[in-house]
Structure 1
Amino acid sequence: MINQLPARVWFVGAGPGDVDLITVKGRDLIARADAILFAGSLVQSAATQWAPAHCLIKDSKEMRLEQITDWLIEQAQPGKVVIRLQTGDPGLYGALIEMVQPLDKANISVEVVPGVSSAFAAMACAVESLTLPEVTQTVILTRVEGRTPMPEGESLQELASHHTTLCLFLSITLLSSIEHELKAAGWAEDATVLVVHKASWPDEQQIIRGTLANIRDKCREAKINSQAMIIISPTLGARHWPDLKKSKLYDAGFTHRFRRAERISNKEQS
C-alpha cells in the first residue's frame, strides 16, 4: 500500500491542461496525497480536485528551485504521499533531474508518473497526425535557442533539414527566428504551420493554422505569446488529401501474426 512506503516524492505529469487527461495512476495518487506542490503557472488548480481534505496544497509559481526542493524534502516523511504535480510529462522540459538530485542526497525515494505532452494534445485537438506512411515516420521534439543555448548539432536549421515533423516547445515569441531557420533548411514559404495555444484547456484553447510566411502575423493578431505548441510537418492537412498512402497494418493484402493476407482480385485492386 502507498501509505506504507518510506519517504518518497512522486513526480506526476498533470497532462496538457484538461484535468481529465491526467492518468488514472496520477489521479489515484492525488486522491491519497498528504502534500501536493503544483506548478500553478502551467497547471490548473482544478488538477488537485481529487485531493483529500487534509492534503496540504501549495502553488510553486513564485518559488525558486531550492525552495521547491526544500519544500518537498520537508514534506517527505515515511508513510506520506508527497506529489510534485507538473505540466505535461515530467521528463520533457520539466527540470526533473534538477529536482531529483537534492532528493537523492536526502535519501528520499523518487517515482515518476508520465503525463500527456502538449505536443500530442495539440495534434489531437487539431485532428492531425504526427506521422504518416511514406510521408514521415519521425518526430522531433525540440525548442528554439533563446536564453537557454542549444547543444552543438541541435540548431533548428540542422534539425529542420530532415524535413520531418517538428514540435517546438517554449518558442512562440521566436516565430521570426523559426521562419528564418526553416527557410534556410529548405522549407518553402507556404509550408503549413500549426500553433495551438493551451491545447485541451477548456474555454482557452486556440488553434491557429498558417504558413511560415504568415503564422507570425496570425499569432500576433490572436494575441498568442505564451503556452503555445508550434508544429511544422509535411503531414499537416492530410485529412483533406484526395490521395493518401494507407497503413500496411490494416491492408487486406498484408500478413501479420493476427491475420493472414487475403487474395485480392484484379478487379478489386482497380
Structure 2
Amino acid sequence: MVYFVGAGCGAADLITVRGMRFLQKADVVIYAGSLVNPELLDYAKAGCKIFNSATMTLEEVVSEMKSAEEKNLMTVRLHTGDQSIYGAVREQMDVLDQLNIPYESCPGVSACFGAASSLNLEFTLPEVSQSLIITRMEGKTSVPEKESIQSFSIHHATMAIYLSTSMLEELSKRLIEGGYEKTTPAALIYKATWPEEKRFVCTIESLAETAKANNITKTALVLVGDVITHSNYAKSRLYAADFETEFRKIKK
C-alpha cells in the first residue's frame, strides 16, 4: 500500500496525527527533498528505507514503490504542504493505477494556511474579501491563459501566490495591470512555520524591493489583498446579537 501524505507547511508538529502515524508505520519513505522538514523523518521507525525524491525521476520513484509493494511493504510518499496543491501526485497515482498498486491520500496543511497563521490573518473578511485564489506565475510549468494573474486580479479577492519568488517584479506588474492598486497590501512569507521563517508586510509595488533587501530568492509565498491589514471590515453576522441560528435565539 502507498500512502500519499501531506507533510504540512514546515513545523514538524504541523503534520496531521494520521500522517504522523503513517510515517511511524512505514517501511519505505520517499520524501520531497529540501521542501520537507527533515525533522519529520525522525518519526520513521528503525530500519525504514528513506529516499530523497529531489534526486529521483518519476520512473525511479515509482520503481521504489513497486519494489516495496512486491515485498508487501508499506510506502509513504511524503509531499510538502498538502499534496493536492502543486504536488505532482496525479501522475504518480495514474502509474500506480496501471500497476494495480493501491494507494490512499492523507491531507496536510498547505503553505498559505501556515502563512496566515504566522500573520494571524483571516483570508475572508466580510465586505473585504470572501474568496481566496490560490495560483502561481508560469515557470517550467505553464499556466492556462484564462488563469493569468491579470485575470484573477480583476476580482480584488485575497490571493495566495506560490512558486513565484524569483519573478516578483513581473508579478507586481501583472497584479497592477489586472486592477490592484500599487498600494494594495501584500506579504512575503519565507518558509512559513519553519524555525527560519521570515515574514514581511509590504505593498504590491514594493514586493521585489522587499525580497531583495532581505535576500529572499526562493521558498516564499506571496499574499495579496486588503485582508492583510484587516481594516474597514464588517463584523460577522454569525455572532451578532440580533442574528438567530439553530443553536441561539436573538438576544436583545
Same fold (TM over 0.5): yes
1:57: Cα distance to partner? 1.3
Of 134-143 and 48-57, the range deviating more from structure 2: 48-57
Q: What SS does the corresponding residue of 2:60 show, helix, strand or coil?
A: helix
Q: Percent identity?
A: 35
Question: Which residue identity does 1:82 align to in structure 2?
Answer: T
Aligned to 1:249: 238
Matched, 1:72 2:65: yes
1:80: Cα distance to partner? 2.5
Counterpart among 196, 220, 225 of residue 217 in structure 2: 225
Matched, 1:161 2:154: yes
| Distance (whole Å) between structure 1 residues aligned to residue 73 and residue 140 of structure 2 | 38
Aligned to 2:4: 11
1:51: Cα distance to partner? 1.3
Matched, 1:176 2:177: no
1:78: Cα distance to partner? 6.6
Dislocated runs of 4+, deviation >3 Å: none
| Distance (whole Å) between structure 2 residues aligned to residue 190 and residue 51 of structure 1 | 47
| Distance (whole Å) between structure 2 residues aligned to residue 57 and residue 149 of structure 1 | 31
Matched, 1:122 2:115: yes
Q: Do the aligned partners of 2:127 and 2:233 also contact (CA within 8 Å) in 1?
A: no
Query: Structure 2 stretches of 5 or more lacking a match?
Result: none
Matched, 1:61 2:50: no
Aligned to 1:89: 82
1:152: Cα distance to partner? 2.9
Aligned to 1:25: 18
| Distance (whole Å) between structure 1 residues aligned to residue 131 and residue 71 of structure 2 | 43
Aligned to 2:36: 43
Q: Do the aligned partners of 2:10 and 2:37 also contact (CA within 8 Å) in 1?
A: yes
Q: What SS does the corresponding residue of 1:229 show, helix, strand or coil?
A: strand
TM-score, normalised by the number of residues in structure 2 = 0.97
| Distance (whole Å) between structure 2 residues aligned to residue 234 and residue 209 of structure 1 | 12
Question: Which residue identity does 1:256 align to in structure 2?
Answer: T
Superposed CA deviations along residues 125-183 of structure 1, whole A, max 9, x for unmatched, are 01111110111110100001223221131111001111001100000111111111111
Alignment RMSD:
1.2
| Distance (whole Å) between structure 2 residues aligned to residue 78 and residue 61 of structure 1 | 24
1:77: Cα distance to partner? 4.0
Aligned to 1:52: 45
Q: Do the aligned partners of 2:118 and 2:193 also contact (CA within 8 Å) in 1?
A: yes
1:37: Cα distance to partner? 0.6
1:65: Cα distance to partner? 1.4
Aligned to 1:213: 205
Between Structure 1 and Structure 2, how many residues are aligned? Answer: 252
Larger helix percent: 2
1:210: Cα distance to partner? 0.9
Q: What SS does the corresponding residue of 2:202 show, helix, strand or coil?
A: strand
Q: What SS does the corresponding residue of 2:33 show, helix, strand or coil?
A: coil
Q: What SS does the corresponding residue of 2:235 show, helix, strand or coil?
A: coil
Q: What SS does the corresponding residue of 2:84 show, helix, strand or coil?
A: coil
Counterpart among 125, 129, 132 of residue 139 in structure 1: 132
Of 126-135 and 163-172, the range deviating more from structure 2: 126-135
Question: Which residue identity does 2:63 align to in structure 1?
Answer: D
Counterpart among 101, 107, 112 of residue 108 in structure 1: 101
Aligned to 2:247: 258
Question: Which residue identity does 1:161 align to in structure 2?
Answer: I
1:252: Cα distance to partner? 1.1
Aligned to 1:34: 27
| Distance (whole Å) between structure 2 residues aligned to residue 78 and residue 188 of structure 1 | 58
